[in-house]
């Protein structure tokens, strides 16, 4: 599969190799090799997002590249592009967290639309980021416990992780 990704093989090529050519809809999704096709798509997406990281694309840059800035806020989290954005946030956040306070630390972006920040909160919760990190990323350092839980994003982080304030 890495071979197909590295050679930038098309969906048509991969589907043919997996014996999925001509299948659509339910017939495609229920085929035993469909999971392999999904893994190929994910690895290809991951490779493209690695290229974005290499070029230094910020989170907001990814948001606009995916045209999420043009999607009504009520719809944005329902789009496939938003799923790609969350995938990019995972990669970007791993880089920020792993190189925090180091010489290679990428720029940290604070703020954003509710959907942008919620993507970060989801990623932090799934990655089991420590509270100090989440508070710093949300610019909530120095707040009292009651002020912290009043912040909708920090509250969501606590809800997602099952932690108490």
Tens of pLDDT, residues 79-91? 999 999 999 999 9
Q: What tokens were used for 149? A: 């839980």
CA–CA separation, 139 vs 110, rounded Å? 7
Residues 45, 60 within the same domain:
no
Q: How many domains does the chain have?
A: 2
Residues 96, 165 within the same domain:
yes
Residues 93, 121 within the same domain:
yes
71 DSSP assignment? S
- Structural domain including 155 reads 56-165
Which whole number is the average pLDDT over 21-50?
92
CA–CA separation, 35 vs 163, rounded Å? 34
Residues 49, 70 within the same domain:
no
58-67, 106-115, 118-127, 129-138: which range is least confident on average? 106-115
Residues 39, 98 within the same domain:
no
pLDDT(68) > 90? yes
Residues 83, 121 within the same domain:
yes
3-class DSSP state of 165: coil
* pTM for the whole structure: 0.83
Q: In degrees, to the nearest 5, what angle opens at C-alpha 130 toward C-alphas 124 and 134?
A: 55
Residues 47, 17 within the same domain:
yes
């Amino acid at each position: 599969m890495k071979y197909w990704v590295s050679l930038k093989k098309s969906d048509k090529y991969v589907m043919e190799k997996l014996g999925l050519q001509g299948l659509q809809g339910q017939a495609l999704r229920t085929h035993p090799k469909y999971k392999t096709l999904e893994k190929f798509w994910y690895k290809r997406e991951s490779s493209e997002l690695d290229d974005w990281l290499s070029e230094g694309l910020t989170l907001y840059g990814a948001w606009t590249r995916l045209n999420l800035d043009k999607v009504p806020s009520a719809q944005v989290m329902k789009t496939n592009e938003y799923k790609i954005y969350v995938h990019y946030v995972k990669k970007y956040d791993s880089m920020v967290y792993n190189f925090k306070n180091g010489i290679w630390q990428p720029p940290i972006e604070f703020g954003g639309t509710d959907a942008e920040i919620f993507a970060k909160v989801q990623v932090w919760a799934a990655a089991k980021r420590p509270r100090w990190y989440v508070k710093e990323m949300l610019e909530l350092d120095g707040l009292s416990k009651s002020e912290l839980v009043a912040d909708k994003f920090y509250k969501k982080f606590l809800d997602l992780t099952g932690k108490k304030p």
